[in-house]
Structures are given as structure tokens and as C-alpha cells.
């Protein structure tokens, strides 16, 4: 498919309608040259629609059919925008490039079916290939049983590779994991964009893992955090990945910890984890990062909020955002009140007292001060040997967290439980049994059946 690789974006971007027609023609040529056409005389779509032939269509032809559908749908939307003159040439070039790469990917000469997919993803991620990193994260987020098996193999190799990297560091960490949390609207994404570009100017490679809330009704997620980081997403030394919370509590996903490890393998020495908007008692992110920063906007309460239990007990650095313009007096007052409140909190580490600083993402004031405080924290943790001890303790916590999650999945997918669960649900709904008693009975049933 060399003609797709050599597609002239510069020339065809000047003639949008002609460009769409050419690309659509090329996609049709791909379908006509596919194995389905050569073997059965039908396109992949026609083979998939024929029930007698559906089982004989290989995975490559299936992907090609779905790819054609996605590209065709994208082009229809693009043509509508061209007619309304709602799209510029630069956006057209990027869109065409995305479609071409997506189509070419189905026809690369190397056959991943003949190659171990785990080795391919591992080697690509190790060499800093962003596409392999993205596919690796997608793999570990999958709930498919076959993909979960591949994910376990991949993570085993990743841990082995990181161990070799760590030995070369001579006691220094491979990366610095920083968690950024706060209430919705506190300016987390805006701060990350400015802060991430500041770190890149300092010579760091920055990975940003953002978590967006999932709908409780449809289960979908907008994944809009990345759209707020336009400038940072253009940086070659930055990688941004948005993931849905998928019902997980604590502001993070089940696989965020594994995603951090993959980013470290890819060579990112600063990993920023942005949680969904959280409250006072949601702090799961504290068990997967080296330093927890809480972002507070002006008008977020008085000092009594600062001495409440919960996430304030785990914070290592408090950042008051939007310290500019008319909000500056309020920011200074809030900084003074929280500084006094933090002195009343019990220290987590004997050599570090949580600091309260103010920043402005609009004027970049305080960004350098935030980084200096983070470096001071890291150095003190390394000096007291608390840095790696904390990581070991976190790994143990996440092991038990995964045990609970896997046990729940195993429990819900058990055929015997599925047979009897409706009976107990009806008893609870009709008031014949309390929820707690029903839960006890279901667990007893599960345990007794395992003993048989």
C-alpha cells in the first residue's frame, strides 16, 4: 500500500473535496486487494454480512472492514464541514494524516499475528514508541480475558525491564510520580499544561495520566481533559493519556498504577496523575504517587476545612490556584489560613512539613516555586530512605486492592450465583429480607458451592 504512504497531503489539502474523493478511492482499492476478494470474490463487508462465510473471515479483513467504515464516516463529516467552510487547511491536513495512518496500519508488511504481540509492545515501549505505549495502556485497561492474559505477560516483562533500569540509576529513582487532585473547577488541567511545559524546558520528559468521570447512566466518558492541554499535547517530550474512571472510586482507575509503570518504561521521568474532581475523603491516588498535591481555588472554605480528616491528612503540597487579578487578596487570605491549619495536622514524615503556596497559571507566577518545593520533598524523602519504602508499601496496598476487584469480578461472573441472585434481589425489593442478610446468604451459597 505504498500509494497510501506517499499520499500528498500538501497538494491535496488545497482541494478538500478532491482529497476526500482520492482517499476514498484508495480505501476501496484496499478492500478490493484484500484476501477476502482474492479468495471469495467478495469484499470483507459482504463476507461479514453473509452468515455462512462470517466465521471464515480472518481478523485482518475484519479490521479492514471496520477501518473503512470509520474512515468513510469521518470523511462524510469532513465533506459537510468543507461545504460550510467550517474547517481550515491545517485541520484538514491533520485529519487526512490520521485517516491515512489508520488505514496504512492495517496493511503494514510485518504481521503481528506471526509475531508475539507482547514482545512487539514491550520493545516498542522500551524504545519510546508512543503508539506502542498507547496500545500497551489500552491492553491493560481491557476486560477481555485473552487481552488480560497478554497484559499480565506484558507487565511481567515491564517489571523486569524497569529493574534493570533501576540498577543503572545507583539509588536514584527512575521517575518522580506526582499526584494532582482537587475539587472540580480548581484549575488542575490548566495548571498541568503550564507546569508540564515548564518541566519540558528544564529537560524532562513528562507523561500526564488524566482520569475523567464516567456517566452513571450510559457508562461513557467525554475524556475532555486533553482538550484543555492544547499546547502541551503538541510537545514531543510530552505524552497525555485520558482514561475513564469506569465506576472506580478515589479519583483514579483500576489500572492507573500499571499505566504509570508503562510510562516509566517509555522513558518519561516525570509522571503527573490528574484525578477526577474529588472531595474530602477520596484519596486513592495517594497510594500510587510519590507526592500528593491538592489544588484549591479561591473561595473553597475557611481554615476549618483544612483541619478536617481525609485527604488533608495525606497532602504533601497545597497549591492555591488563580492567584491573579481581583482574586489575589482572597488567595493570600486563604494561604494564611491553610498554613496555620496545616500546622495542626499530624506530620506523615518527621522531616517534611506540608507547604501552602499560591500559583497563577495565567501569568506563570509561582510555577517555579511549586517545582522547587517538589524537588525539596523528593530530596528529603531520599535522604531519609522513605522514598522507596513508601513505594513498597503502596505496591502491597494495590495488591490487596486488585485482589478485592478480581474477587468481585469472579463472584459476579459465577454461573451459580447468577442463577440464584435474582431470587435474593426480589426478596430485598419486596421487603422480605434486608440487604445485609441477603448479602450474607449469597456469600454463604458461594462458599458452600466452592467446597463441593
Reply yes or no on whether the pLDDT at 120 is more than 50.
Answer: yes
Residue-level pLDDT at 96: 57
Q: What CATH number labels 113-170? A: 1.20.5.170
Lowest average pLDDT, out of 291-305, 332-346, 392-406, goes to 291-305
Mean pLDDT of all residues in the chain?
Answer: 75
The model's pTM is 0.70
Residue-level pLDDT at 191: 92
Taking residues 44-73, report their average pLDDT: 63
Lowest average pLDDT, out of 2-16, 319-333, 363-377, goes to 2-16
Q: Per mean pLDDT, which of 253-257, 299-303, 335-339 is the most reliable?
A: 335-339
Model confidence pLDDT, tens digit, residues 79-96: 665 555 555 555 555 555
Residue-level pLDDT at 374: 94
Model confidence pLDDT, tens digit, residues 239-283: 998 877 655 554 467 788 889 999 999 999 999 998 876 654 456
Residue-level pLDDT at 23: 54
Model confidence pLDDT, tens digit, residues 180-225: 988 878 888 889 999 999 999 999 999 999 876 554 444 444 555 6
Residue-level pLDDT at 347: 78
Q: Which fold has domain 391-451?
A: Helix Hairpins (1.10.287)
Lowest average pLDDT, out of 220-224, 415-419, 434-438, goes to 220-224
The share of the chain scoring above pLDDT 90, in percent, equals 17
Q: Which residue has the higher pLDDT, 355 or 224?
A: 355
Residue-level pLDDT at 221: 47
Residue-level pLDDT at 27: 55
Residue-level pLDDT at 12: 45
> Which residue ranges make up each domain of the chain?
2-109, 113-170, 173-385, 391-451
**In terms of CATH architecture, what is 173-385?**
3-Layer(aba) Sandwich (3.40)
Task: For residue 340, name the pLDDT band (cuts at 50, 70, 90).
Answer: confident
Q: What is the 3-state secondary structure (H, E, C) of the chain?
A: CHHHHCCCHHHHCCCHHHHHHHHHHHHHHHHHCCHHHHHHCCCHHHHHHCCCCHHHCCHHHHHHHHHHHHHHHHHHHHHHHHHCCCCCHHHHHHHHHHHHHHHHHCCCCCCCCCCCHHHHHHHHHHCCCHHHHHHHHHHHHCCCHHHHHHHHHHHHHHHHHHHHHHHHHCCCCCCEEEEEEECCCCCHHHHHHHHHHHHHHCCCCEEEEEEECCCCCCCCCCCCHHHHCHHHHCCCCEEEEEEECCCCCCCCCCCHHHHHHHHHHCCCCEEEEECCCCCCCCCHHHHCCCEEEEEECCCCCCHHHHCCCCHHHCCCEEEECCCCHHHHHHHHHHHHHHHHHHHCCCCCECCECCEEEECECCCCECHHHHHHHHHHHHHHHHHCCHHHHHHHHHHHHHHHHHHHHHHHHHHHCCHHHHHHHHHHHHHHHCCCCCHHHHHHHHHHHHHHHHHC
Residue-level pLDDT at 268: 94
Residue-level pLDDT at 28: 58
Reply yes or no on whether the pLDDT at 8 is more than 50.
Answer: no
Taking residues 409-419, report their average pLDDT: 80
Task: For residue 335, name the pLDDT band (cuts at 50, 70, 90).
Answer: confident
Taking residues 227-249, report their average pLDDT: 77
Q: Per mean pLDDT, which of 126-130, 141-145, 204-208, 343-347 is the most reliable?
A: 204-208
Q: Would the CATH topology of 173-385 be identical to that of 391-451?
A: no
Amino acid at each position: 500500500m505504498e500509494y497510501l504512504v506517499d499520499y500528498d497531503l500538501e497538494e491535496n489539502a488545497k482541494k478538500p473535496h478532491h482529497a476526500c474523493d482520492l482517499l476514498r478511492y484508495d480505501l476501496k482499492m484496499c478492500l478490493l486487494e484484500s484476501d477476502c476478494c482474492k479468495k471469495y470474490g467478495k469484499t470483507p463487508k459482504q463476507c461479514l454480512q453473509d452468515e455462512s462465510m462470517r466465521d471464515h473471515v480472518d481478523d485482518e479483513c475484519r479490521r479492514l472492514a471496520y477501518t473503512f467504515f470509520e474512515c468513510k464516516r469521518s470523511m462524510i463529516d469532513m465533506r459537510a464541514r468543507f461545504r460550510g467552510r467550517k474547517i481550515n487547511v491545517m485541520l484538514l491536513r491533520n485529519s487526512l494524516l490520521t485517516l491515512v495512518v489508520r488505514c496504512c496500519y492495517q496493511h503494514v508488511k510485518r504481521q503481528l499475528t506471526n509475531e508475539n504481540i507482547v514482545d512487539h509492545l514491550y520493545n516498542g515501549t522500551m524504545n519510546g514508541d508512543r503508539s506502542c505505549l498507547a496500545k500497551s495502556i489500552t491492553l491493560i485497561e481491557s476486560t477481555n480475558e485473552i487481552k488480560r492474559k497478554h497484559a499480565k505477560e506484558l507487565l511481567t516483562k515491564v517489571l523486569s525491564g524497569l529493574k534493570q533500569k533501576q540498577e543503572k540509576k545507583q539509588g536514584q529513582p527512575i521517575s518522580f510520580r506526582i499526584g494532582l487532585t482537587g475539587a472540580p473547577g480548581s484549575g488542575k488541567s490548566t495548571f498541568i499544561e503550564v507546569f508540564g511545559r515548564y518541566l519540558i524546558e528544564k529537560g524532562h520528559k513528562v507523561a500526564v495520566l488524566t482520569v475523567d468521570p464516567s456517566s452513571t447512566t450510559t457508562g461513557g466518558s467525554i475524556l475532555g481533559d486533553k482538550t484543555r492541554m492544547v499546547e502541551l499535547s503538541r510537545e514531543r517530550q510530552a505524552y497525555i493519556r485520558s482514561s475513564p474512571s469506569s465506576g472506580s472510586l478515589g479519583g483514579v482507575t483500576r489500572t492507573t498504577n500499571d499505566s504509570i509503570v508503562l510510562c516509566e518504561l517509555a522513558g518519561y521521568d516525570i509522571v503527573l496523575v490528574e484525578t477526577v474532581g474529588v472531595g474530602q475523603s477520596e484519596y486513592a491516588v495517594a497510594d500510587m504517587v510519590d507526592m500528593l498535591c491538592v489544588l484549591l481555588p479561591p473561595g473553597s472554605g475557611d481554615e476549618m476545612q483544612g483541619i478536617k480528616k481525609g485527604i488533608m491528612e495525606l497532602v504533601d503540597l497545597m497549591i492555591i490556584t488563580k492567584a491573579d487579578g481581583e482574586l489575589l487578596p482572597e488567595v493570600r487570605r486563604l494561604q494564611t489560613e491553610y498554613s496555620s491549619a496545616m500546622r495542626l495536622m499530624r506530620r506523615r514524615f518527621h522531616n517534611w512539613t506540608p507547604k501552602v503556596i499560591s500559583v497563577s497559571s495565567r501569568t506563570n507566577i509561582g510555577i517555579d516555586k511549586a517545582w522547587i518545593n517538589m524537588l525539596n520533598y523528593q530530596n528529603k524523602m531520599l535522604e531519609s530512605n522513605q522514598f522507596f519504602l513508601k513505594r513498597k508499601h503502596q505496591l502491597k496496598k494495590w495488591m490487596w486492592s486488585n485482589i478485592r476487584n478480581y474477587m468481585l469480578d469472579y463472584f459476579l461472573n459465577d454461573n451459580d450465583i447468577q442463577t440464584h441472585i435474582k431470587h435474593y434481589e426480589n426478596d430485598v425489593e419486596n421487603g422480605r429480607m434486608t440487604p445485609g442478610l441477603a448479602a450474607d446468604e449469597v456469600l454463604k451459597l458461594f462458599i458452600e458451592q466452592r467446597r463441593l
